[in-house]
Structure 1
Amino acid sequence: MAVSTYLWHEGGFIPSQPHPGPFDVADSWRMLGDAHSSALRLHLRRFESVAGPLPAGFVPAMLQRFAPGDLFPRISLAAGQLRLDIRPAPPARPVTRLTYAQAPDPRSQPLVKGPDFPALARYRAEYQDDGADDTVIVDSSGAMLETTTGALVAWDGETLVLPTGTALPSITLHQVTRRAAALGIRTETRPLTLELATECPLWFLNSLHGISPVTDLYTPTGIIYPPCNPHTATWQQWWWDSFHKETARD
């Protein structure tokens, strides 16, 4: 399936060419089957918090554009224009391998998805090891903040550990912390250090791959193999079960 790009113009979508970037703001999520998604409203709300309210009719028209299949759509705002890219979704990653690079933070707007896409791509190209799926962004002390495409959390026994520092407000992380609260699971915030990763399970989270345990962490001095969380499969199934049919309404 090829990528289809549309421009919002006079109350509807018209075919367009892909925007080379950069974006003022963007958001994306996985769609399954016949317009099933997880937390789409939260993605739209995050987008609108920067871009302003979406025009009337935008969401219904967008949903009508989605053909059945496994998709990874993206909405974006650039130069005052709203765009929709309908892209095929890659297979979900059951596990994730990361590069740990103690390098300068490439982000200029870490709380907004979109403007830093080019800088993050350059960061991966410069630092990512062969065989790794993504690259970690660290703070000045070397603690892990997030990756270039997702959030990171750890498990210290039965406690969910969130990273300190500034990171994108992750929708999947929000889902995980909300479920943890509902289950009465203790959550705390502290630096995600390499030492912690040697002892505690580490999860990669985003709306394309869901919950993907980190199995390998490539560092300048060797590979760290974070231990497994025995509850990972249950949490992964819960996330995939959260997908539901979206209806064409604003």
Structure 2
Amino acid sequence: MSPRHTAWFAWRPGSHLAPARPPDAPVLAADSWLVQDGRARFTAGHRARFLAACRAAGAGRGLDADGFFTQALARLPRTGAWFPRVELLGGARPVLGLRLRPCPERTGQARLSCWYGPDPRTCPTRKGPDLAALAGLRAHARGRGADDYLLTTPDGRASEATSATLLWWQDGRLCLPAPGLPVLPGITAAWITARATRLGIPLTPRDVRPADLSGHEVWLVNALHGIRPVTAWPHTPYRAGPAERAADWQRAWQDAARPLPAPRVPRPSARQAARP
């Protein structure tokens, strides 16, 4: 397969993934992660989040989302850089599919601006339904010299970026948005907080407004870029704090990649095995 080629594979429960044309249907659930030369990070977490999203979307057991995810992992290329996405597409008959995409450009830092307009999300705690709206908002940010927008609640509290979890350092503590805010459960963020706990670093959930982040080391974290320190706040009066901890954590994130499970070789049927 060409490294520039994007393909879509449909899941036939109890069978296999086959090349197909994706149906023109809304995305009910989705998940994606970075694959580099057959290595990926936290696939168990992405599986669990995707299965939970399928259940929340009302997907029936007959679709076998767990079996589909196993086959999707087996179908991924073992060379090159990819950013595959598993999808549950809705309609009269929901269908599971794998969108095999080449890896987009990745960066090690981010310019973050603030979005104070209407929140475009309709389902902020489930990845999938809001992907198109968030991509449009992110494109708007890039048109204004930023990499992403920081979303806020109606009362002005910072929640997350359009494509990443918000984390920051304050008083020697790793801080995260307070529980109850409308945010997507982040797989990369979960790894970061677990590592912080192992290292004895205090974790502190806090309600903050964007102004409270000024001067602190702020991170945007997700499965594509890993950990990106915020190095500029375009179109705001805020200033970026020094990225003193990011490099060490970025190295640890790089080292967290593990080989994908070996592709399963189909067993021949009894009739095939009997052929000379």
Q: Would you call these one fold, judging by a TM-score over 0.5? A: yes
Residues 216, 223 of structure 1: 8 Å contact kept: no
Report the counterpart of residue 42 of structure 1 in structure 2. Answer: 45
Gaps of 5+ in 1: none
* Whole-angstrom CA distance in 2 between matches of 1:61 and 1:101: 35
Asked if the contact 1:107/1:116 (under 8 Å) is kept, the reply is yes
Q: Structure 2: how far apart are the matches of 1:207 and 1:187?
A: 21
What is the distance in 1 between the residues matched to 2:201 and 2:66?
Answer: 39
State the SS of the aligned residue for 1:83: strand
Could you tell me which residue of structure 1 aligns to residue 233 of structure 2? 217
Partner Cα separation in structure 1 for residue 101 and residue 165 of structure 2? 22
1:176 shift after superposition: 0.6
- Provide the residue aligned with 2:117 in structure 1: 103
Structure 2: runs of 5+ lacking an equivalent: 56-63, 265-276
1:195 corresponding residue in structure 2? 211
Aligned twin of 2:260:
246
Q: Distance in 2 between matches of 1:194 and 1:148?
A: 15
| 1:56 and 2:71 are equivalent in the alignment | no
Query: Which of the numbers 18, 23, 41 marks the counterpart of 2:27?
Result: 23
- 1:19–1:28 distance in 2 versus 1, CA, 3 Å: farther
Partner of 2:89: 78
Identity in percent: 31
- Tell me the SS of whatever aligns to 1:160: strand
Partner SS for 1:218: coil
Letter paired with 2:146:
A
TM-score, normalised with respect to structure 1: 0.91
Secondary structure of 2:251's counterpart equals helix
Q: Which moved more, 1:90-99 or 1:229-238?
A: 90-99
Q: Report the alpha carbon displacement of residue 195 of structure 1 after superposing the two structures with TM.
A: 2.4
* Alignment check: 8 A CA contact 1:22 1:118 kept: no
Q: CA deviation at 1:200?
A: 1.0
Q: How far has the Cα of 1:140 moved from its partner?
A: 1.5
Q: Which moved more, 1:13-22 or 1:110-119?
A: 13-22
The 1:189–1:122 alpha-carbon spacing in structure 2 relative to 1, beyond 3 Å, is same
Distance (whole Å) between structure 2 residues aligned to residue 198 and residue 178 of structure 1: 26
With over 3 angstroms needed to count, the CA separation of the structure-2 counterparts of 1:210 and 1:65, relative to structure 1, is closer
Cα deviation for residue 92 of structure 1 reads: 2.4
3-state SS, counterpart of residue 24 of structure 1: strand
Higher Cα radius of gyration: 2
What TM-score, normalized by structure 2, do the two folds share? 0.83
Residue 214 of structure 2 aligns to a residue whose secondary structure is: helix
Q: Per-residue displacement from partner, 1:113-148 (whole Å, max 9, x unpaired)?
A: 000112223333556552211112111222221111
- Aligned residue-pair number: 247
> Quick check: 1:6 aligned with 2:22?
no
C-alpha contact (below 8 Å) 1:135/1:147 kept by paired residues = yes
Distance 1:154 1:235 in 2: 13
Task: Determine if contact 1:66/1:86 at 8 Å carries over to the other structure.
Answer: no
Distance in 2, matches of 1:137 and 1:49, equals: 24
Greater shift, 161-170 or 121-130, is seen at: 121-130
CA contact (8 A) 2:112 2:148 kept: yes
Whether the 8 Å CA contact 1:103–1:138 is kept in 2: the answer is no
Deviations 1:34-55 (A, max 9, x none): x200001100110001215525
Structure 1 counterpart of 2:16, one-letter code: G
